[in-house]
Amino acid sequence: MYPVLVQLGTFELRTYGVIVALSFFLGLWLSAKEAKRKRLDPGLIQDCSFIQALQVIISRRFRVPRG
């Protein structure tokens, strides 16, 4: 597997990041389909997923070192 898929100057698109993003969107799509099947609002699933993605990004950037 190639660790870097695309490199444009100093920007690198890494394989791991692409796989994580694709899995997130696949899970979102499947969750919305399941919500429709159970007669729930798929918009609620999308809103919660957006908030969850923001929380993951923020918590990853501001990790406190343990020691």
Q: Using H for helix, E for strand and C for coil, what is the string for 29-67?
A: HHHHHHHHHCCCCHHHHHHHHHHHHHHHHHHHHCCCCCC
Tokens of 18: 């692409």
Q: Confidence class of residue 8 from pLDDT cuts 50, 70 and 90?
A: very high
pLDDT tops 70 at residue 63: no
pTM: 0.74
Tokens of 60: 């990853």
- Which pLDDT tens digit goes with each residue over 12-39? 999 988 998 999 999 999 999 999 999 9
